[in-house]
Structure formats: C-alpha cells, structure tokens
Amino acid sequence: MPAYEFEALDQTGRSKKGIVEGDSARQVRQILRDRSLAPLRVDLTSAANQRNINKTGASFDFFGSRLSVSERALVTRQLATLIAAGLSVEESLLAVSKQTESPRTQLMLVTVRAKVMEGYSFARSLQEYPKAFPELYRATVEAGESAGHLEQVLNQLADFSEAQYESGLRIQQAMIYPVILLILTVAILGGLLGYVVPDIVEVFADTGQALPALTQMIIGASDFVMSYGLFVVVLVILAVMGFKRLLGVAAFRLKFDQKMLHLPIFAKMARGRNTAQFASTLSILSSSGVPLVEAMQISSGVVSNTWLRLQVKEATVKVREGSSLQSALEQSGYFPPMMLYMIASGESSGELDQMLSRVAKHMQQDVEVLLATLLSLIGPLMLVLMGGAVFTIVMAILLPIINLNQLVV
C-alpha cells in the first residue's frame, strides 16, 4: 500500500502535515475527511517519486535519505522491543513510524513497511534507503530473518550503533576545549601582531634608538602579518581543499593510508580504531549466522583505512581458499598479536564471535584511552603556547622601554 504526504486544515483552521497510507489519493482524502480534516494537498511520498525517477534512468541523491547514527540506533532499539513483544515486522514499523517526531524518519519507515506489505523481506525492503541502512545493517537483518532471531539481531545492531554514537560524542566533547583555545590563540596573536605592535613601533621609531633583536623579530612578524596575513589564510584554505581532493584519488589515498599505519601515535590509533571496527562488525555478522567469508567481505567495508581494507580483502581470499582467519590476518602484519591469539583461541574452541566481540571492546578501550590522553594534553599545551607567545610579544615591547629608561638615567 503506497504512502501519501498530505497537507490539510483542522477545524480551527490550522495547517497540518503528515503521511497516510492508502490505495489511492482519493481514498486518502476520504480518510482525512473522516478525521475532520480538510485536505489541501495529497501527493505520493518522495520515496515513491524517487522510484519512479529511477525507473526513467535519472539519478538523484536525496538529502533526506540519510539517518544519523543516533536516529538509527533509536529506531533499531524500538523495532527490537516491539518484535520481541510479539508484534509482526509490519506492525512494529507502523508503531515506530507513529512514535517518531521526524517526518523524514516517518517517511522512511512507512515506505519500508509498504515494501514489507508487498511481500518483500524486511532486509530487502531496507534497500529502499541504502544510505540510511548500510550493507552491514541489511546483511545482519537478513541473517536474523533467516535464523528466526530478528529481535536479537536488532538488539545487537542497536548496541553497535549506540556504541558508535557514544564514542563519536565523547571525541566531539573532548575536542571542544582545544578548538576554543586554538581559535583564541590565533585571534589574540593576530590582534597583537596586526594592531598593537604597529602602534608601539611608531613610538620607538621616533626615539631613534637601536631596538633589541627580539623586538626586531616581532616587528618583522607583525609586518608579515599585515602584508601577507590574508594571503596565508587563503593559501592554507586552498591547501586543505587541495589535500582533500587528493585524498579522493584512489592511488594517493592508498599510499597516504599506508604511511599512516607506520607513523608514531597515529599508527596505533589508526590500527586500533580500524581493527576494533572490523572485529566488532565481524562478530555481529558471525553470531547472526552469516558465513565467515561473506562476513569478512561485508566487514571490510567498515574499515576506513584503504590500505588495511586491502589487507582484509586479501585475507578474505585466503580464508576462501581454506586458510584459518588467524593465519590469514597474521600474514598481513597489521593486526595486533593479542587479537590474533584470541581469534586463534576462538577458532579452536568454536567461540569465534565471542572472542571477536572481546577483542573489539579491548581495542576500542585502548584507542579511547590513548585519545583521551592526547586530548587531555592538547589543552595545557595550547595554554603554554598561547602564554609563551603573548609573553614573547610583551617582552619585545618592554625591552626597548627598559633600555630607554636606562639611557635617561
């Protein structure tokens, strides 16, 4: 049953918008009248229009076809709760669509429900929104449907999404203080060098005395800021934009990611974050009944480092040819020894999914501890740099004044 977006007036004359399912626009208008609403506009949902456009060969990227990690986690948790309570997938989707306050999310759920009512599986119906429900999500749901444990799989996906959201939120909160300090440092130094120092220089120029080396250095820095400051800012912006474009080139991105895996500190963070993501995804898929080779193929998609993703794909080929997971990953040389030992233990004991889950948690904790330590050092370091820079400028201004007083005495 298709979904229709409507706009109508209630008995007080207020405009109301929403989504209603019906066989036709005429039926939807009648439904609205039965609710004491005067329909002004009834149209097929954007998703239905998108399917019609795609059939003609056109391709558009609708901004509203995405879900944030927190939104996806909430929807998944609600669906898992309702399905565990005995409701069908169709009824659960309808209930959650009425529960959500976001028209975009409501539209997605109604559209997915319409596909389910047409006879498609839940996983197949989610393909209507591949950006909102990525391949990992759909593959896990499909495995849960096949095994008859959909509510358990949805709970696992909700846990996974919530952990991703909380990790990202902690990083954002930890970065607020260093970013504010950086902005203040640049603003203060720019103000001192661009406006304060030039005024002081005019006073010193009238005295005709020889200026100390520190003062001359600061004056040179001030002249540079006044003459080329804007140019430097534009150049930095262009350099950042150019670097981002270079990262879009596959060959350059591959070499860059390979270098990142060998740099001090950055290597530990890159390996830890990517291996934790890979192990967590592989654990979810494996516990959901997805075959190991297929699970590795899907899990490689969540590895953001392209060089490490290439190593996972090569390991997948080795596993397909009969190699063990531990042996295949060990040959790449990029996975931590502890992870390999636990995987070997899981393969021998038949508890691979549990071992992968433990590895993922341990690696994620290591990364978070390292990141928290670095972020805790950035704040004091920025304060020291800002204080040192301001002190240097103040001393450069005071030294000529002190020398002048000594000459007068």
Q: What tens digit of pLDDT does each residue of 66-80 get?
A: 788 888 888 988 998
Strand-pair partners of 38: 9
- Give the pLDDT mean for 87-107: 85
* pLDDT of 351: 86
- Give the pLDDT mean for 124-131: 86
Residue 238 in this model has a pLDDT that exceeds 90: yes
Largest CA distance in the chain: 99
Residue 48 in this model has a pLDDT that exceeds 60: no
Backbone angles phi, psi at 12, to 5 degrees: -90, 0
Q: Residue 406, Cα to own-chain centre: how many angstroms? A: 61
Q: What is the spatial distance between Cα 323 and Cα 315, in angstroms, rounded to a whole number?
A: 9
Q: Cα dist. 187→180, 340, 388 in Å?
A: 11, 49, 15
Q: What is the spatial distance between Cα 399 and Cα 198, in angstroms, rounded to a whole number?
A: 16
**Amino acid (1-letter code) at residue 247:** L
Return the number of other C-beta atoms located less than 10 Å from residue 357's C-beta. 20
* Token pair belonging to 253: 């991105």
* pLDDT of 317: 92
Q: What is the spatial distance between Cα 11 and Cα 240, in angstroms, rounded to a whole number?
A: 56
The answer to whether 307 and 257 have CB atoms below 8 angstroms apart is yes
Q: What is the spatial distance between Cα 275 and Cα 125, in angstroms, rounded to a whole number?
A: 30
| 55 pLDDT tier (thresholds 50, 70, 90) | very low
Residue 142 in this model has a pLDDT that exceeds 70: yes
Of the spans 16-30, 125-139, 191-205, 251-265, which averages the highest pLDDT?
A: 251-265
**Amino acid (1-letter code) at residue 355:** M
**Amino acid (1-letter code) at residue 69:** V
Cα distance from N-terminal residue to C-terminal residue, the chain: 96
pTM above 0.75, yes or no: no
Of the spans 131-135, 152-156, 182-186, 232-236, which averages the highest pLDDT?
A: 232-236
Query: Counting Cβ atoms within 10 Å, is residue 369 exposed (0-12), middle (13-18) or buried (19+)?
Result: exposed
- Give the pLDDT mean for 135-162: 78
* pLDDT of 207: 63
- Give the pLDDT mean for 362-384: 82
Specify the higher pLDDT residue, 291 or 163. 291
Q: What is the spatial distance between Cα 91 and Cα 28, in angstroms, rounded to a whole number?
A: 20
Of the spans 21-25, 142-146, 252-256, which averages the highest pLDDT?
A: 252-256
